[in-house]
Amino acid sequence: MQSFCQKLKSSKTKFIFISGGVISGLGKGTTSASIAALLEGCGLKVFPIKVDMYLNIDAGTMNPLEHGETFVTADALECDQDIGTYERFLHRNLDRSNYFTAGQVYQSILDKERQLRFNGRCVEAFPHIPLEIIDFINRFPEDTDVVIVEYGGTVGEYQNEAFFEAARMMAACSPNQVCFVHIGYILQPPSLGEMKSKPMQMSIRMLNELGIFPDLLICRSENQIDRPRIEKIAIAAGVSEKEVFSCPNVDSIYKLPKILKDQGVLQPIFNKLHLNTNSCHIPPWENLSDKIDSLKRTIKIGIVAKYYTSGGSNLGDSYISVLEAVKHAAWEMNVKPEITWFDSETIEKDKKNLEKLSQVDVVIVPQGWGSRGVEGKVEAIKYVRENKIPYLGLCFGMQMATVEFGRNVVGLKDANSEEANPDSPHPVIHIMEEQKELIRKLQYGGTIRLGAWPCKIAKGTLIEEVYQKYGWLTDNSVVDERHRHRYEFNNAYREQYEAKGMHFTGLSPDGKLVEAVELDRSLHPYFIGTQFHPELISRPFTPHPLFLGLIEAGLAHKNA
């Protein structure tokens, strides 16, 4: 502990810990990303970290309905969707050093124990787990000015205590290098009509019991928090009213940097961390916020999904990167996107629901796993193809597009993916060869094709035209795109598909893997499917070309 304290005190790096209280899903990730963007606007080098308290090693095996979207980094890490938020706000790629879980911490400790790295000492929950957490936090580059650590979950959960203890230990070593930001929810029950701050006060008390006293508080609420509540919360936390900030619901998360900056959220951070900075410049965020408010024209986006409905709830977080990529492209094209969700299982139950697709300007079929809802997606794609509605299929959406085309155009009766029907007579989508042995050994976690892989774009194609138009294509016609899949197109059927007008316009550099397909433009104006996930690298200031092309095609379809 003493050597760690000496190391911390000798470092110029500062640390901001962001915690949440009352409920999960507060938007800690967006708030963390916004603060990071503001600090970078002040000329500081920021390193964000998301910590999940799950015993999962990564987010790859988690159900998206429970956990939300699994984001994939360029270096092949399956992680929490907040990493995607950080990438979009900071406009740069992150990697596995920006994310860790309790499972990784415990695994690392146990590996060290087996290697006799503890020199025969008893390995205990304290101090070894908090110290290991500190080691994970300390993976930042040497030139980092500020590390922002976002703790998942809420204060008071049993599994969080070791992580808060790690933060307390760091603050005890060097108080002026650690700042605590606590975000809590201010309830406003409709039956009472007034805001209630007691749950927020209780979450602050729970932090105090762990030895942590927040330096500033951000109050999430439906509406702007009022003065009486600010006074109560400031007294409960032992801070001034100038250190309590309001963060009501907004129609776009990209307005948050400006909202927080205008309230002066950086000043208490600068004061606590003794940071000397220049003024904070964020013209891009201010301009984007103004642009969003000024848009009048709309475009209707249909998304055919299987992870959207859960019980009586609608969970758009399962496809958060797709939604953000749509917004980026629509705003660039000076239109406001209107999202309409289509549950693929509902389509299976009643094909009359397909007719509602005629009311949208473009259709996206995003990622998915397993057999549930497959036939609904296939039917939706058939409707889109026949009615020439601009289409973008992402991973599973590309695979289902080839299934539909195989059945209804190529003439392959009962064509399917081996994932949906292992006994299909025409497995046009089959498991990757190297995956078969992994499956037999039940090695599922972290073993699929992950991360950034090169894709060779064919000349004279629609996809080449779109990439070139927006300046994303290199001289060698190769793009790097992120992947997350175990199944691929079956090359035995390539010639039959080409003969009927489906072209394989993106391939792995060795030509073995199909990365992108499109329909001949004599058959459809804009019909593209990708095995990769273009949504993962779209940014608010640099939208992805395939989404820009889709919106452009949708506007033409709307006008026609």
Active site residues: 395, 533, 535
Query: Which tokens go with 291?
Result: 């642009």
DSSP string, 358-417: GG-SEEEE----SSTTHHHHHHHHHHHHHTT--EEEETHHHHHHHHHHIIIII--TTEEE
Residue 49's SS3 state is strand
- Side-chain-side CA neighbours of residue 77 (13 Å): 21
Residue type, 372: R
- Paired strand residues for 506: 457, 516
Sign of the Cα pseudo-torsion (528, 484, 400, 61, in order): negative
C-alpha R_g of the chain: 25
DSSP string, 258-312: HHHHHHTTHHHHHHHHT--------HHHHHHHHHHHH---EEEEEEEESSSEETT
Helices (H) and strands (E) in the chain, counts: 20, 23
Distance CA 162, CA 226 (A): 35
Tokens 């007294």: give the residue: 235
Query: Which tokens go with 224?
Result: 């702007």
Query: 457 near 437, Cβ under 8 Å?
Result: no
Residue 50's SS3 state is strand
Cα distance from N-terminal residue to C-terminal residue, the chain = 69
Torsion angle of C-alpha atoms 104, 109, 114, 120, degrees rounded to 10: 180
